[in-house]
Amino acid sequence: MPTQITLAKGLNMGLRKAMENDPKVLIMGEDVGKLGGVFRVTDGLQKDFGEDRVLDTPLAESGIVGTAIGLALRGYRPVVEIQFDGFVYPAFDQIVSQLAKMHMRSLGHVKLPVTIRIPYGGGIGAVEHHSESPEAYFAHTAGLKVVSCSNPVDAYWMIQQSIACDDPVIFFEPKRRYWDKAELDESATPHPLFAARVVRPGGDVTLVAYGPMVKVCLDAAAAAEEENRSLEVIDLRSLSPLDVDAVCRSVERTGRLVVVHEAPVFLGMGAEIAARVTERCFYSLEAPVLRVGGFHTPYPPSRLEEDYLPDLDRVLDAVDRSLAY
Amino acid sequence: MHVIVDSSPGTSPGPELVQLLTPEGERVEHPEYSIELSPQEYRGLYRDLVLVRRVDAEAVALQRQGELGIWASLLGQEAAQVGAGRAMGPNDYAFPTYREHGVAWCRDVDPLNLLGLFRGVNHGGWDPNEHNFHLYTIVIGAQTLHAVGYAMGMQRDGSGAAVLAFFGDGATSQGDVNEAFNFAGVYNAPVVFFCQNNQWAISEPLERQTRAPLYRRASGFGFPGVRVDGNDVLACLAVTREALDYAREGNGPILIEAFTYRMGAHTTSDDPSRYRLQSELEAWKLKDPIERYKRFLIKNSLADSDFFAEVDAESERLARHMRDGCRALPDPEPLSLFDHVYAEGHPLVDEERAQFAAYLSADVDATAERGEG
């Protein structure tokens, strides 16, 4: 029976399912136990699975990831919560130099099935360090896989698929979408974890987004329809691996591509997508690949974040520029 | 205001130093730690010390001959490493730095496997789970957190074993080491922190790392710390055995500071004459871990000249094994750089492997066409 759930609830249900299916799955992080996480994503799990499987940790991000690595070496599947995007940096060495490289350094002898959940992005009026989009740092690092869900149904399936993956997965959760709702059918067949998905078909311009910007792009496509413009929206879902094939298939039909993300444009995911699409679809392109994203500034105070974050109007402005070529 | 502060890191060890063997090779008693071994076990420790030093000397020589890119010598730290390594049970697990060649020896890792990293043919050529000896870790202190996590796993498994986490005096300044202490304390993890205080972190002396003696840091994290003579193999063995028992019995972590000295350079790329006095090295040479132990064996008639001759002969055989084996280590195939990046693969790695393979074979074809093949 399909049920109406929020994205946070989808994650919660997915985590519960993973813990039921595999006794080696552990949850670790600050406030994830009794409190159920500051966003309540782990609500009720410690009560049902005990303190040995849902660990309230000391307040030390490097320590959380470093000990998760040790637990993985011992055969566990830790799921780590970093409380907010801007707090992941103390764990950067453990993620980039230790977690990402250990499988290769061991010539394949050890596996590191660690999932690191990071609520990310802005739009919730938070103080500084609580609204950032650091995904490019991790997608840039060989040895990591990086995904981001955009809706409650994907949240439910993707968290389980990430935990089941034998590689480290950085799992970005769009915090401003935690309370968005959708119908979940638990008996459905999940989409493959590392594949993109066309979430709205169209023929004039392709919009590519992930995480919180998927909804903005869908809204933009709905608005454009009123002006008889047909926008195709692709939810990337996975940033590493990057499903370039899916983007190219679309661009070969539309000839125009706009990439949208909250993270700064410079050296962001859009730069990589633009380069690859240009290499692969040069003769299909009717216009340069355009990017809409954050500016080359630190994330602003929250009273300015509506100016900083891409919104429907900025996306449509880029669509206009693309169509003007 | 009356405040009592210990503001010295204790560069000369005080009465708290656990010692069972004086630098002159005299066996002394300690009120808390004792050790009794069979003659064969006593001789075995000597064999370990000598062979480990030979592994190190050969590796330094191989680096000088251009066979290794770099080597981190353990010269002077043999007793600390052999004492700790031999204290481990078969189910215990060690997390080393990049200098634990003596512990690797005790865990039956072929010394040739250690050379791969320093020769540049791999990043560590052994299976950690086969030896219960993790890969070398080069980022200072990072492995102490892995050790604590692994110990937390053992705790959940009810394994009854413990983890030995190695690090140096410099590492005690790292956040990761202090987080490891704290996590281990909070979760009562069965981990023994084994700090080899060799007095120098490349050019920086102990005073640049700490204001208080290192073993005392444990008390701030709520667990015991002990300072042992790191050049006394019997004391290191006795203290580590007891610490591992303590951890295995569910009492939580414990810190051992093995007070020793890095008699060589930091690595073969380092020149210690730029920052430390020769007289300091000369003073420590009088405390050499192997010399004192040999005197002890002779004084107590635990070994005869035949035994010493046999160890020397074995040392020669080991050196030959390393020289021949090192030169025979093949350079990896170019395409192997794409191996093992991911456990479940990654399309980008596959794509780049295929592109590079095509590039390499095109290059071969071009060379052949020019008649240069």
Give the residue from B146, B154, B157, B191 with the most A CB atoms within 10 Å of its CB, the best one to mutate: B146
Please check whether residue A83 touches B, CB under 8 A.
Answer: no
pLDDT digits (tens, 9 = 90+) for B13-39: 777 899 999 999 999 999 999 999 999
Residue numbers in B near A110 (CB within 8 A): 128-129
Structure tokens at A277: 């699409």
Query: How high is the pLDDT of residue B15?
Result: 77
Give the residue from A61, A80, A96, A106 with the most B CB atoms within 10 Å of its CB, the best one to mutate: A106
Query: How high is the pLDDT of residue B6?
Result: 56
Q: Which residue of A58, A74, A113 is in closest CB contact with B150?
A: A74
Q: Which residue of A97, A113, A194 is in closest CB contact with B139?
A: A97
B266 is catalytic: yes
Please check whether residue A133 touches B, CB under 8 A.
Answer: no
Residue numbers in A near B131 (CB within 8 A): none
pLDDT band at B2; cut points 50, 70, 90: low
Query: How high is the pLDDT of residue B14?
Result: 77
Is the per-residue pLDDT at B125 higher than 50? yes
The residue of chain B nearest to residue A140, with distances taken between CA atoms, is B348
Give the residue from A26, A64, A74, A245 with the most B CB atoms within 10 Å of its CB, the best one to mutate: A74
State the average pLDDT over residues B160-181: 98
Match 């680096």 to its residue by tokens: B63
B275 is catalytic: yes
pLDDT digits (tens, 9 = 90+) for B305-351: 999 999 999 999 999 999 999 999 999 999 999 999 999 999 999 99
Please check whether residue B351 touches A, CB under 8 A.
Answer: no
d(CA B206, CA B209): 5
Return the number of other C-beta atoms located less than 10 Å from residue A125's C-beta.
13
Query: How high is the pLDDT of residue A108?
Result: 96
B30 is catalytic: no
Are the beta carbons of B341 and A70 separated by less than 8 Å? Answer: no
Selected residues 162-221 of chain B with any CB under 8 Å from a CB in chain A: 175-176, 179-180, 182-183, 186-187
Is the per-residue pLDDT at A259 higher than 60? yes
Are the beta carbons of A102 and B125 separated by less than 8 Å? Answer: no
Work out the minimum CA distance from B133 to partner chain A, whole angstroms. 12
Are the beta carbons of A145 and B349 separated by less than 8 Å? Answer: no
Is the per-residue pLDDT at B7 higher than 80? no
Is the per-residue pLDDT at B153 higher than 80? yes
Structure tokens at B293: 């132990």
pLDDT band at B1; cut points 50, 70, 90: low
How much of chain A exceeds pLDDT 90, in percent? 99
Is the per-residue pLDDT at A1 higher than 70? no
Residues 6+ positions from B168 with CB-CB distance below 8 Å: B97, B99, B140, B195, B196, B197, B198, B201
pLDDT digits (tens, 9 = 90+) for B50-79: 999 999 999 999 999 999 999 999 999 999
Are the beta carbons of A110 and B176 separated by less than 8 Å? Answer: no
Residues 6+ positions from A160 with CB-CB distance below 8 Å: A14, A17, A18, A190
pLDDT band at A96; cut points 50, 70, 90: very high
pLDDT digits (tens, 9 = 90+) for A275-322: 999 999 999 999 999 999 999 999 999 999 999 999 999 999 999 999
Q: Range with the lowest mean pLDDT among A168-172, B184-188, B189-193, B328-332? A: B328-332
pLDDT band at B373; cut points 50, 70, 90: very low
d(CA A277, CA A281): 5
Residue numbers in A near B153 (CB within 8 A): 70-71, 73-76
Query: How high is the pLDDT of residue B182?
Result: 98
Query: How high is the pLDDT of residue A168?
Result: 98
- Write down all domains in chain A, each with its CATH number in brackets: 3-184 (3.40.50.970), 197-324 (3.40.50.920)
Is the per-residue pLDDT at B367 higher than 80? no
pTM over 0.90, yes/no: yes
Residue numbers in B near A73 (CB within 8 A): 128, 134, 146, 149-150, 153
> Which of B85, B89, B56 is closest to B73 using CA atoms?
B56
Please check whether residue A51 touches B, CB under 8 A.
Answer: no
State the average pLDDT over residues A180-195: 97
How much of chain B exceeds pLDDT 90, in percent? 92
